[in-house]
Structure 1
Amino acid sequence: MSEEHVKHLQELDRQGRLVMCGPFSDAPGGMVIIRADSREEAVSLAERDPYVLSGIRSYELRTWSLSHEGNKHMSIAEE
């Protein structure tokens, strides 16, 4: 099953949707960070993962906002 999971991740990478992924070193499971145009698309991508389809793993979908100077998240601290 892990071969199919890796192929899924490779396809996401080819599509430019995979940002990063890997297993946790201190707990079971891992994290996959993807780019998606909508929450619905992200759900669809996650639910196509063979690990999820087979029931081996579940997923928790989170939306992540990057902090940077442009959105003022990085300017709240004084230098």
Structure 2
Amino acid sequence: MLDQQSSSPSEPSIEDMIISLANSGKQRNRMILIGAPKWVEKIIYLLHAARITEVRDWSQQVPTHHPNEVISLMQRPKVEK
């Protein structure tokens, strides 16, 4: 899941991801990772090991317009205490 970098018609573009985040009517907490594919994957697993996020909560890596750079998003509902 995390190493996929191909850009196919069924895969969302960065612009689609940003528009989706901006237009979401629900209050959500979000994390965005942008960097080299291996670094993004490493941080996702470190956040999981620290019990901050689940690996399955992250989007697939989507290539940016820069070589060897991807973006991955994590969203979860905002919890009010």
Q: If the length of structure 2 is used for normalisation, what is the TM-score?
A: 0.31
Larger relative contact order (C-alpha < 8 A, sep ≥ 6)? 2
Higher fraction of helix? 1
Q: If the length of structure 1 is used for normalisation, what is the TM-score?
A: 0.31
- Structure with larger Rg: 1
